[in-house]
Amino acid sequence: MDIKLLLAIITGLWYWFAGSIAGYTLFPTLKSPLFIGFILGLLTGDPVKGIQAGAAIEIVYLGIVAPGGNMPSDRALAGLIAIPLVLTTDTSVEIATTIAVPVGILGVFLNNIRRYINTIFSQKADQYANEGNINGIWNMATIWPLAVGLILRFPVVFVANYYGIDLIDSVLEFIPEWIMHGLTVMGGMLPTLGFATTMLMIGKAQYFPLFFIGYFLVKYFSLSTMGAAIFGLSIAFLIMYMGGFSSNSENISDKKKATNKIELTNEDYIKQMMQ
């Protein structure tokens, strides 16, 4: 088997597994371009060249945190396509890095498609929950999404590394601009669904002002999520200690007081009318 085909298969499978994030703590290793460079370098006989190419790409993505799992760019895809170029062709590390960045953005689309398709499996898992079929649920959470991931991710890397980067470029050009843009817009809008469902689940309309406080604290003062969490926790405790909450029994007496009050005022009103 020639090295090009071998690399194409290995990188394709790698992208499938790393992109699926199977075994959560494996991903800092498997998605790292530096580690990818080291292993691909071992395969082609020059681990130092590989790890240096990987390190150059790693720098681009250093310090990027994926809040809520939303990667702004896919460094694994970037590494898996750019590093083989360095190892098997005359491409310089610099050129490979510039190729890597737009490729990384393509990876975000793939991830969004995956999370879009995965909604089907949660629906199916609900059905299995009705039947009490725990193995069915487990399969919906593992085997099926992994299968979809294989179909979605393997071909991209395999084709790119076997037939070259030119093909990827022409594929990207073939997709109309408005569809690509529409998909980007959708990526920005879809997290809304998760938030709206959580708010439905919390289910207390009287807490809505807190949603606005949280939203505008971040919008006006660019707070980090951690900073927001500190404020949120403080507000929650403040309300609790100031006695804003009462246990159930007190709630009932409050209600009684309130109804008494209304009755009183009604009586007053009637009295006034009588006079």
Partner 1 sequence: MKNTDRQSIHLDKKDVNSTFYRWWWSAEISNSFERMQGLAFGASFGKVLKKLYGNDKNMLTEALHRQLTFFNTEPMWGSIILGSTLAMEEKKAQGEKLPAETITSFKTGLMGPMASIGDTINAGTIQTIVYTIAISLANEGSVVGAFLIVLYSIFVLFLGRFLMNLGYREGQKSIVDLLESGKINQVIQTASILGMFMMGALSATMIRVTTPVSFNIAGADFVLQDTFDMIIPGILPLITVLLIYYGLKYKKISITKMMLILTVVCLLGSLIGIL
- Of residues 211 through 250, those in contact with partner 1 by CB under 8 A are 211-220, 223-226, 228-229, 231-233, 235-237, 239-240, 245, 247-248
- Is residue 32 close enough to count as binding partner 1 by CB under 8 A? yes
Contact residue for partner 1 among 11, 14, 15, 20 (CB under 8 A): 20
Closest CA to 106 of 62, 68, 155, 65: 155
Map the footprint of partner 1 across residues 45-84, applying CB under 8 A.
47-48, 51-52, 54-55, 58-59, 62-63, 65-70
Q: Is 198 in the site for partner 1 (CB under 8 A)?
A: yes
Measured between alpha carbons, how far is 52 from 35 in angstroms, rounded to an integer? 10
Residues numbered 117 to 146 that lie near partner 1 (CB under 8 A) are 117-119, 121-123, 125-126, 129-132, 134-135, 137-138, 140-142, 144-146
- Which range, of 5-13, 152-160, 192-200, 255-263, touches partner 1 by CB under 8 A? 192-200
Tokens of 54: 């990987």
Q: Pick the closest to residue 27 from 91, 85, 87, 71 (CA basis).
A: 71
- Distance of CA 181 to CAs 69, 112, 239, Å? 21, 14, 44
Number of helices and strands in the chain (H, E): 14, 0
Please state the closest distance from residue 253 (CB atom) to partner 1, in A: 15
